[in-house]
Amino acid sequence: MPERSPRPVLWLLLLPYIGLLWVPFYNAREPEILGFPFFYWYQFAWVPLTALIIWIAYRSVRHDD
């Protein structure tokens, strides 16, 4: 297996943990979007965001298999 140092882009993978585990940040009703309190749409927004981050990470790793 080729030597590889952790790529900087992999640090992006930490973002969902920070964004979702710091609960006091998003435990709020306002601002609402389409009737969804902040608590709900904020967490929903992390779904496509996390998929995007993983996709970026996927593009950056060596596909050695």
Partner 1 sequence: MTTELDVVAVAVFAFFFILVTVMGFMAARWKRGETMAHIDEWGLGGRKFGTWVTWFLVGGDFYTAYTVIAVPALVYAVGAYGFFALPYTIIVYPFVFLVMPKLWKRAKDSGYVTAGDVVFGQYGSRGLELAVAITGVLAVMPYIALQLVGMAAVIKALGLHGEGLRGELPLAIAFIILALYTYSAGLRAPALIAFVKDIMIYIVVLAAVALIPWELGGYGAVFQAADDAFKAKGAGGILLGDSQMVAYASLALGSALAAFMYPHTLTGIFASAGANTIRKNAALLPAYTLLLGLLALLGYMAHAAHLNVASPNDVVPALFQTLFPSWFAGFAFAAIAIGALVPAAVMSIGAANLFTRNFWKAYVDPGVSHAGEAQVAKVTSLVVKVGALLVIVFLPTQFALDLQLLGGVWILQTLPALVFGLYVGWFRAPALLAGWAVGFFGGSWIVWQDGLKPLHALSFGGSTVTVYAGLLALAANIVVAVAVNLAVAPRVARTA
Give the SS3 label for residue 62.
coil
Helix (H/G/I), strand (E/B), else coil: 33? strand
Alpha-carbon distance of 38 to 25, in angstroms, equals: 10
What span, in angstroms and rounded, lies between the C-alpha atoms of 52 and 60?
Answer: 13
Cβ 20 to partner 1 shortest distance, Å = 4
- Going residue by residue from 6 to 45, which x/- string records binding to partner 1, judged by CB under 8 A? ----x--xx-xx--xxxxx--xxx--x-xxxx-xx--xx-
Binding site for partner 1 (CB under 8 A): 10, 13-14, 16-17, 20-24, 27-29, 32, 34-37, 39-40, 43-44, 46-48, 50-55, 57-58, 61, 63, 65
